[in-house]
Chains A and B, each alone.
Chain A
Amino acid sequence: MPSRDQGTPEVEPFEVFYRREYTRMVAVARALLRSGTAAEDLAQESFVAAHRHWGRIGGYDDPGAWVRRVLINRATSFQRRLGAEWRAFDRLGQRADERTVPELTPQATEVWEEVRRLPRRQAQATVLHYVDQLSIEEIGEVMGCSSGAVKSHLHRARNRLSERLQAWDEEEV
């Protein structure tokens, strides 16, 4: 099974990996989700998945790509689960979490709302490119597709965003 551990690669301590990558993962999650606290939770959940089998995952060529893949794959269902939980809290008249997360400006909020409305793969590629500043090849690694496919996702995303954000601007005028 070629993709399992080959030999005994040097495994970076999880804590080091976690501290280095945490804010980047939160930023990616923040762009994919509406809520800042949800973004933190999704990032943590993705790290929990890696931590559980760090002896193995830490030996992968790029554990960061693995955690990003988990994060972007789980973002949609995470939003749904979280929504259900918050609705339940609302019914109980309380919120689960009182953390304060910095708000984004209306302009940035508008941009990410439009990105989230893109087809899922386009949205993922856009977030990994702009927020995480990954190269086309790195995005392909995370998304499990070719560089050509990544370029195509980004091209379509830009065209669609250009139209939609222009419409926003015209409405504002």
Chain B
Amino acid sequence: MKHLSELEQRLEQAAHEVRQAARHSVPPPFEHRAGRPTPPGWLVFALAFGAVVLAVGVLPMLSRSERPDNTVGEPSPTTAAVVTTTIPATSTSPVVSGDCSASGLPMPADQEGLPDQVADTRLAIAEAAIACDFETLESLAGPDLTTSFGGGGFDNIPRWEEEGTYPALHLLVELFDTPFASQDFEDLPRYYVWPSAFVYETWDEIPPADLEALRTIYAQEELDQYSEFGSYALWRIGITEDGEWRFFVAGD
């Protein structure tokens, strides 16, 4: 294509076709279901196969490679932790404004080894958290985002902030500045997890540098408790390899 104007024409024409085709789509009514929207067709399928899919889907945020109480049928990671990053010595830009637990925090530095989509989501979440921008943050949440406790969704995050239960936004930013790890599960996309400490089966396996990174977030007593417990079960964030923010949870 020699001229960009020709490209422009093709794009305009293709866009026109897409808009025309979309006019054939009739919006399904929301009002006929007591105010609840009509579930998309694929959701019907998802419900039919829900039990299995859900059981598999929540595993990465709940378990390490081999929990003692693994049940038959639970997938185990095909690869254990693969930790590649080091803690950035310096952070990048200073912060913006806002009034929340993340106000004034620096943006986490770039981390090497992340797929572009994961890196984009990580930085977008951190940026929104620092700006105390719940609107953007919610739009970045995956449809199945799980937050502690008891399988809550995004709503826990503003609630924790407003009630002062947990400094959720602060944690999001700080955790993203720790080393990450990736985990593979059968039939699931790869997960990227912050901090890397979570994917180690025992506390003793966590590399010293990765433990050091946790000291900027947690008091020594907290870390000692989990050292005695045997593994890291504090806050962690998970993003799938295609950039879906999937969990922000704590606890065993």
Q: Give the B-binding residues of A (Cβ under 8 A).
A: 1-4, 14-15, 18-19, 22-24, 26-27, 30-31, 36-41, 43-45, 47-49, 51, 53, 57, 60, 66, 69-70, 73-74, 76-77, 80-82, 85, 88-89, 96-97, 99, 101-105, 107-108, 111-112, 119-121, 126, 130-131, 133, 144, 158, 161-163, 165-166, 169
How far apart sit A166 and B4, CA to CA, in the bound complex (Å)? Answer: 11
- CB <8 Å contact, A130 and B11: yes
Contact for A44 among B37, B120, B131, CB less than 8 A: B37
Contact for A144 among B20, B28, B127, CB less than 8 A: B127
How far apart sit A53 and B15, CA to CA, in the bound complex (Å)? Answer: 31
- CB <8 Å contact, A85 and B42: yes
Contacting residues, chain B, for A47 (C-beta < 8 A): 30, 37
Stretch of B65-73, B93-101, B201-209 at the chain-chain interface: B93-101
Shortest CB distance A67–B (Å): 8
Shortest CB distance B176–A (Å): 16
B14 at the interface (CB under 8 A from A): yes
- CB <8 Å contact, B136 and A26: no
- CB <8 Å contact, B18 and A74: no
Contact for B30 among A14, A88, A103, CB less than 8 A: A14
Q: Give the A-binding residues of B (Cβ under 8 A).
A: 1-2, 4, 7-8, 10-15, 17-25, 27-28, 30-31, 36-42, 44-46, 49, 97-100, 116-117, 120-121, 124, 127-128, 131-136, 138-140, 142-143, 155, 158, 161-162, 189, 240, 242-244
How far apart sit A88 and B48, CA to CA, in the bound complex (Å)? Answer: 12
Contacting residues, chain B, for A121 (C-beta < 8 A): 120
Closest 8 A/B residue pairs (Cβ)? A27-B22, A111-B14, A77-B244, A22-B27, A130-B15, A41-B40, A108-B14, A166-B1
- Residue on B nearest A111 in the bound complex, by CB: B14
Contacting residues, chain A, for B7 (C-beta < 8 A): 158, 161-162, 165
How far apart sit A161 and B19, CA to CA, in the bound complex (Å)? Answer: 20
Most B CB within 10 A of own CB, among A4, A39, A104: A4
Shortest CB distance B220–A (Å): 31
- CB <8 Å contact, A104 and B18: yes
- CB <8 Å contact, A2 and B97: yes
Q: A2-B98, A70-B139 are in contact. Are A131 and B18 (CB under 8 A)?
A: yes
- CB <8 Å contact, A37 and B14: no
Contact for B99 among A1, A26, A41, A80, CB less than 8 A: A1
- Residue on B nearest A82 in the bound complex, by CB: B42
Contacting residues, chain B, for A81 (C-beta < 8 A): 42
Q: A1-B98, A4-B134 are in contact. Are A89 and B30 (CB under 8 A)?
A: no
Most A CB within 10 A of own CB, among B4, B36, B45, B49: B45
